[in-house]
Amino acid sequence: MSEAPLLVERREGVVWLTLNRPQRRNALSLELLHRLEEELDGLRADRASRAVVISANGPVFMYEGHAGFKGTSAANDCESAGAGDGGWLSARGSVRPGRCV
């Protein structure tokens, strides 16, 4: 069984989302994007959580390139969506407003 690409821990009102693909430099994959989106969407209704921390296992936070996303990165998509207005690359490939940081 392979390890989960995203680890989730809840402590004292803080949700820790840890990218867990250190062997791939935490490059985005469809599975990782789906998991991130699920967790972030679920937090909208979670009144017990006050903050979210996104971290990564390994020496690299996130490698921008991945074969499944050639020529695309969440940062570029957020920028083209107008980072000041917000935007987030969803796992379905659309940019959703209000999710970029």
CB 50 within 8 A of CB 12: no
Where does the chain have alpha helices with state H?
30-43, 74-81
**Strand residues in 2-99 grouped as ranges (E):** 6-11, 14-19, 51-56, 88-89, 95-96
Residue pLDDT tens, the chain, 101 long:
468 999 999 999 999 999 999 999 998 889 999 999 999 999 988 999 999 999 999 999 887 654 444 444 444 544 444 443 334 444 444 444 444 43
Contacts of 97 (CB under 8 A, 6+ apart): 81, 85, 86, 87, 88
Q: What is the largest CA-CA distance in the chain?
A: 41
C-alpha 88/C-alpha 101 separation (Å) is: 9
Give the phi and the psi of residue 33 in degrees, each rounded to 5.
Answer: -60, -45
Q: Which domains are present in the chain?
A: 6-93 (3.30.300.220)
Q: Can you give the pLDDT at residue 62?
A: 84
Token pair 């935007």 is at which residue?
A: 87
Order the strands of the 6-11 sheet from edge to edge.
Answer: 6-11, 14-19, 51-56
**pTM (2 decimals)?**
0.63
Q: Can you give the pLDDT at residue 21?
A: 93
